[in-house]
């Protein structure tokens, strides 16, 4: 154990408000900052580099706080988590050597619909004559833009002052509307350029086709009214579009139970009496699977039909009894409505009188509540670790699960609030949790963040704990240490799944802050978790030695499904 000093974390006061100056007096960089603030961004993650330094200096003078990270890819994950919690996130890096490190987190944000604004510097427009080999350049000056056009929903290079403001608005609006990442490149000689032309942002929010909406809501309402055993499956878009209240209004008004997908987990408090559990086909708890698949009407709201959400296609949802509404489509049984917004559809349904017969949701499994009993000398297992952790969760906790059993086992946790369970449950990029915990800490410094991560994932990029120490967050990082890539051991045995062991619990000595614990038994885990929870002054690392063959039931089932395909 070690303990170091930490720097107190305070949001600083705004030194500048660009909006008072009038848009025609703003430079391109200032306008971008103003618009980011308009979308609620108070913090930007990143690393400075020479092609973005002017903009960094401008940010430093702005109300937006710059959160320096150890590496750009981590900054991307932090911005992603921040976006999931606050509605939009941003990351700011230099050209190519910074930007290309964001490919993976931006791809993840695209795949899982997280509105991250990627801001990157680049060589100045006036430096590009004669096509010189400026450092960091790869193929030509547009290469980075062309790469990110593949994995962003909108992208721009602000090389023309006349249209720069409009381009900024177009990209930010696309991020807000589609909940996907966007790419904004500022050549370094454009940051301080004042276009000087009059400009009025004109953004027309999308609207539903009135008649299609009315017909769809009527048809869906009729189906619910005729149903005997309806259920809602709520997905990630309910988080992204902030539709939790509408969902609750619909469920509570009608008494329809709610299940969630893995990516949608914590869309409602899982202690809610209408919450039926996590639906993931053959991977999930049997009673929940049975409850969902026994339903005679399934209203899927904002769900992605991913392989993992569907238990690698072990789900059994008959389209003839499904209503499938997302931001991209509305399908009732086998026909489609065009031009119906997800939010309008949910609100429309919630306003109808729907009174299906009440259904009793499956109870929590034994051992996941007050009936948990410690077996002090027993080696700690993943399942028992989660059951013990579950006792600590409350409305002030954010749980972030990494990939593998960190995710599958954590799916059994009973969350108490909204957007308090965050994971890369579709894109499944290892190493998400620790930098995401930084992002969560910045977004919600007064909540307690718990990151659960495998040892293989931690070795990828766990050094972002350093930033958590620097900012003085009381994050708890639980490292599931099975000396290797545990999920893959089931899929495909081989020496390549073993990794070098680390003394993770000694990392506080490297970073000069926080406390480390090393545990093997249930009692040791109990004591460490208790101490970590009581310590609100700094971060804690709990290194949990688990047996090499210990896995959650969900992972065992998933590994069996996956291994048939490899």
Name which of residues 59 to 78 contact a second copy (CB under 8 A). 60, 66, 68, 70-71, 73
Picking from 40, 61, 35, 32, the residue whose alpha carbon sits closest to that of residue 191 is: 32
**Could you say which DSSP state residue 93 is in?**
E
Q: Between 180 and 219, how does the x/- string for binding to a second copy read (CB under 8 A)?
A: --------x-------------------------------
Give me the least distance between CB of 101 and a second copy, in Å please. Answer: 5
DSSP summary character for residue 549:
T
Output the smallest distance, CB 229 to a second copy, in A. Answer: 27
The reply on whether position 560 binds a second copy by CB under 8 A is no
445 near 475, Cβ under 8 Å? no
Residue 466 contacts by C-beta under 8 Å, 6 or more apart in sequence? 70, 510, 511
When the beta carbons of 372 and 496 are compared against a second copy, the nearer one is 496
Q: DSSP assignment of 521-537, as one string? A: BHHHHHHHHHHHHH--S
Name the residue nearer to a second copy (CB basis): 416 or 561.
561
Q: Which is nearer to a second copy, 146 or 355 (CB)?
A: 146
Return the closest-CA partner of residue 528 out of 539, 512, 538, 542: 542
* CB-nearer residue toward a second copy: 109 or 213: 109
CA angle 512, 514, 517 (to 5 degrees): 120
Name which of residues 464 to 483 contact a second copy (CB under 8 A).
Answer: 466-467, 469-470
Tokens 């038994």 sit at which residue?
521
Options 26, 96, 278, 476; binder of a second copy; rule CB under 8 A:
96
Name the segment binding a second copy (CB under 8 A); options: 138-146, 244-252, 369-377, 410-418: 138-146
Of 38, 319, 501, 530, which one interacts with a second copy (CB under 8 A)? 501
Nearer to a second copy, 129 or 357 (CB): 129
CB closer to a second copy out of 254 and 461: 461
* DSSP label at residue 372: -
Among 511, 517, 525, 550, contact with a second copy (rule: CB under 8 A): 511
Nearer to a second copy, 33 or 256 (CB): 33
Tell me how many degrees the CA angle 52-55-56 measures, rounded to the nearest 5.
85
What is the closest distance, in whole angstroms, from the C-beta atom of residue 50 to a second copy in the complex?
6
DSSP letter assigned to residue 410: H
Q: For a second copy, which stretch binds (CB under 8 A), given 26-34, 45-53, 319-327, 369-377?
A: 45-53
Of 52-60, 196-204, 350-358, 367-375, the segment contacting a second copy by CB under 8 A is 52-60
Shortest approach of a second copy to residue 353 CB, angstroms?
Answer: 35
Quick one: which of 306, 381, 390, 474 contacts a second copy (CB under 8 A)? 306
Q: Which stretch binds a second copy (CB under 8 A): 269-277, 279-287, 303-311, 394-402?
A: 303-311
Rounded CA-CA distance 389/500 in Å is 27
**How many C-beta neighbours within 10 Å does residue 39 have?**
17
Strands (E), 438-564: 448-454, 476-481, 515-519, 540-545
Q: Is there binding between residue 491 and a second copy (CB under 8 A)?
A: yes
- Among 39, 42, 128, 137, which residue sits at the site for a second copy (rule: CB under 8 A)? 137
Q: Which of 268-276, 380-388, 506-514, 545-553 is the region at the interface with a second copy (rule: CB under 8 A)? A: 506-514
Instruction: Spell out a b/e string for 177-190, using b for 16 or more CB atoms within 10 Å of the CB, else e.
Output: bbbbbbbbbbbbbb
Label the pairing between strands 297-301 and 230-234: parallel
- Binding to a second copy in span 240-279, by CB under 8 A: none
Question: Quick one: which of 335, 338, 500, 564 contacts a second copy (CB under 8 A)?
Answer: 500
Residue 385's SS3 state is helix
Residue 235 C-beta: closest distance to a second copy, Å: 12
Q: How many residues bind a second copy (CB under 8 A)?
A: 84
Least gap, CB of 293 to a second copy (angstroms): 20
Minimum CB separation of residue 136 from a second copy in Å reads 6
> Among residues 37 and 491, whose Cβ is nearest to a second copy?
491
Closest distance between a second copy and the C-beta of residue 263, in Å?
A: 10
Cα of 108 vs its chain's centroid, Å:
9
Site for a second copy in 310-339 (CB under 8 A): 313
Q: Report the site for a second copy in 370-409 (rule: CB under 8 A).
A: none
Token pair belonging to 17: 């408000």
Closest CB to a second copy among residues 374, 499: 499
Query: Which of 275, 304 has the CB closer to a second copy?
Result: 304
Q: Say if residues 141 and 208 touch (Cβ distance below 8 Å).
A: no
Q: Strand order of the sheet with strand 230-234?
A: 275-278, 258-260, 230-234, 297-301, 322-325, 330-332, 335-337
Q: How far is CA 59 from CA 43, 67, 201, 418, 441, in A?
A: 10, 11, 22, 31, 20
Site for a second copy in 402-461 (CB under 8 A): 426-431, 459-461
Residue 323 or 541 with smaller CB distance to a second copy: 541
Q: How far is CA 360 from the centre of its chain?
A: 31
User: CB of 241 within 8 A of CB of 302?
Assistant: yes
Kindly report the CA angle at 541 between 79 and 85, in degrees rounded to 5? 25
Task: Report 99-128 residues binding a second copy (CB under 8 A).
Answer: 100-101, 103-104, 107-108, 110-111, 124, 127
Distance CA 184, CA 507 (A): 36
Q: Least distance from C-beta 143 to a second copy, angstroms?
A: 5
User: Are the CB atoms for 455 and 504 separated by under 8 Å?
Assistant: yes
Inter-CA distances, 187 with 28, 72, 156, 165, 279, Å: 11, 19, 11, 14, 47
Give the one residue of 284, 462, 486, 514 binding a second copy; rule: CB under 8 A.
462
Q: Are 504 and 456 in contact (CB under 8 A)?
A: no
Residue of 135, 226, 336, 530 that binds a second copy (CB under 8 A): 135
**Of 356 and 484, which CB lies nearer to a second copy in the complex structure?**
484
């Amino acid at each position: 154990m070690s303990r170091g000093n930490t720097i107190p974390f305070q949001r600083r006061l705004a030194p500048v408000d660009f909006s008072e100056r009038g848009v025609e007096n703003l430079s391109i960089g200032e306008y971008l900052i103003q618009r980011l603030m308009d979308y609620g961004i108070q913090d930007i993650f990143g690393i400075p580099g020479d092609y973005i330094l002017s903009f960094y200096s401008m940010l430093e003078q702005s109300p937006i706080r710059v959160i320096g990270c150890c590496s750009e890819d981590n900054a991307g994950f932090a911005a992603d988590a921040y976006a999931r919690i606050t509605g939009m996130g941003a990351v700011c890096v230099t050209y190519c050597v910074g930007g290309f490190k964001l490919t993976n987190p931006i791809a993840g944000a695209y795949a899982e619909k997280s509105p991250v604004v990627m801001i990157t510097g680049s060589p100045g427009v006036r430096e590009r004559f004669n096509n010189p080999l400026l450092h960091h350049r790869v193929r030509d000056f547009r290469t980075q833009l062309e790469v990110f056009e593949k994995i962003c929903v909108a992208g721009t290079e602000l090389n023309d002052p006349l249209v720069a403001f409009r381009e900024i608005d177009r990209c930010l609006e696309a991020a807000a509307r589609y909940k996907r990442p966007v790419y904004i490149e500022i050549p370094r000689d454009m940051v301080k350029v004042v276009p000087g032309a009059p400009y009025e942002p004109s953004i027309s929010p999308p609207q539903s086709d009135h008649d299609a909406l009315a017909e769809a809501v009527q048809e869906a309402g009729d189906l619910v009214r005729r149903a005997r055993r309806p259920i809602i499956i709520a997905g990630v878009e309910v988080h992204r579009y902030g539709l939790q209240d509408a969902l609750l209004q619909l469920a509570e008004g009608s008494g329809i139970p709610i299940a969630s997908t893995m990516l949608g987990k914590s869309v409602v408090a899982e202690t809610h009496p209408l919450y039926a559990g996590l639906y993931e086909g053959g991977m999930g708890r049997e009673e929940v699977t049975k409850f969902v698949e026994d339903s005679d009407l399934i209203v899927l709201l904002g769900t992605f039909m991913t392989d993992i959400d569907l238990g690698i296609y072990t789900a059994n949802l008959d389209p003839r009894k499904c209503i499938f509404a997302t931001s991209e489509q509305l399908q009732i049984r086998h026909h489609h409505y065009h031009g119906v917004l997800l939010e309008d559809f949910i609100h429309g349904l919630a306003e109808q009188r729907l009174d299906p017969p009440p259904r009793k949701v499956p109870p929590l499994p034994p051992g996941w509540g007050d009936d948990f009993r410690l077996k002090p000398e027993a080696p700690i297992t993943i399942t028992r670790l989660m059951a013990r952790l579950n006792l600590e969760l409350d409305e002030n906790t954010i749980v972030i699960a990494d990939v593998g059993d960190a995710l599958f086992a954590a799916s059994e946790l009973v969350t108490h609030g909204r957007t308090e369970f965050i994971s890369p449950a579709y894109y499944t990029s290892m190493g998400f949790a620790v930098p995401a915990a930084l992002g969560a800490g910045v977004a919600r410094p007064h909540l307690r963040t718990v990151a659960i991560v495998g040892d293989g994932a931690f070795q990828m990029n766990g050094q972002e704990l350093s930033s958590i120490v620097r900012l003085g967050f009381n994050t708890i990082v639980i490292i599931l240490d099975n000396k290797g890539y545990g999920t893959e051991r089931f899929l495909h045995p081989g020496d390549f799944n073993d990794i070098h062991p680390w003394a993770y619990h000694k990392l506080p000595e490297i970073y000069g802050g926080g406390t480390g614990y090393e545990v093997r038994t249930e009692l040791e885990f109990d004591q460490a978790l208790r101490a970590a929870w009581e310590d609100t002054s700094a971060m804690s690392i709990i290194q949990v030695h688990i047996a090499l063959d210990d896995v959650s039931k969900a992972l065992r089932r998933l590994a069996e499904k996956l291994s048939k395909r490899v």
